[in-house]
Amino acid sequence: MSDERLRRVRDRVRPFPDFPEPGVLFRDISPLLKDPVAFRALIDLLEDHVRASFPKIDFIVGECLDSRGFLIGTPLAQRLGIGFVPVRKKGKLPGQTKTKAALCSLQAELEVQSDAVEPGQKVVVVDDLLATGGTMRAACELLKRLKAEILECLVIIELKALKGSEKLNSIPFYSLLQYD
C-alpha cells in the first residue's frame, strides 16, 4: 500500500468535535470527496486491496443508510468492471425487497431488492465508516438471506473503540484508516 496515497487520504478526513452531539468526534470525509487527487488515491487503494484479495468477485454492495456507501462503492465497482448493488433505507428501492432492522441507535430498517444477487455470487460490502457495526451487520444478514457469498466488509474509516467489527460474526473485515 502506498504510504503517500494513504497519507493523502488521511489528511483529507476532518474531525468535528461534539457532532452530532456532545462527546462525539465526527470524522468527516467531505474534504476527501472535494479533492479529486485524494479521492482518486482512495479508490486506487481500495481497488488495489480488492484485486489483491479477491480474484473473483461479482458485485460491490454499497451499504447506504445515508448514501455515502454509494459515493465509494460505485466508482470502485466501475474500476473493477463489476456491478454495484445498493442496500438502502426501507422504502427507497422499487420492486420486491428483503428487509432487515439495523442494529444501531438509528432504529432504521434496511432493504435490498430480492433479485439483486443470485445464490453463490461473491460480494464485498462497502461503506465509508464502521462505528458500532449494527448497520453493516444488518446489510450482511440481508445478503445472506439472498444466499450471497460475502467475501469482506470494507470501509474507509473504522472507529476501533466502538468494536463494530466484532458484530460482523467473523465476516472478514478491512478498514483503510483506524481511529480510537
What is the dotted CATH code of the domain comprising 1-178? 3.40.50.2020
Q: What is the pLDDT of residue 90?
A: 86
Render each residue's pLDDT in the chain as its tens digit; 180 residues: 479 999 999 999 999 999 989 998 999 999 999 999 999 999 999 999 999 999 999 999 998 766 688 899 999 999 999 999 999 888 889 999 988 876 655 567 889 999 999 999 999 999 999 998 988 998 999 999 999 999 999 999 999 999 999 999 889 999 999 998
pTM of the model: 0.93
For residue 160, the 8-state DSSP code is G
Could you give the CA distance from residue 43 to residue 135 in angstroms, rounded to a whole number?
22
Q: Identify the bridge partners of residue 92 per DSSP, sorted by sequence position.
A: none
What's the pLDDT score for residue 56? Answer: 97
CA distances from 166 to 64, 70, 107, 111, 161 (A): 20, 24, 19, 22, 11
Looking at residue 101, its pLDDT comes to: 73
- Nearest partner of 176 among 132, 129, 131, 136, judged by Cα: 129
Which of 5, 8, 12, 68 is an active site residue?
68
Choosing from 40, 47, 79, 109, which is the catalytic residue?
109
For 87, phi then psi, to 5°, come to: -115, 125
Q: Is 109 a catalytic residue?
A: yes
The whole-number pLDDT of residue 107 equals 63
| Segments making up each domain of the chain, as ranges | 1-178
Cβ-contact 27, 15 below 8 angstroms: yes
Could you confirm whether 68 is annotated as catalytic? yes
- pLDDT score recorded for residue 68: 81
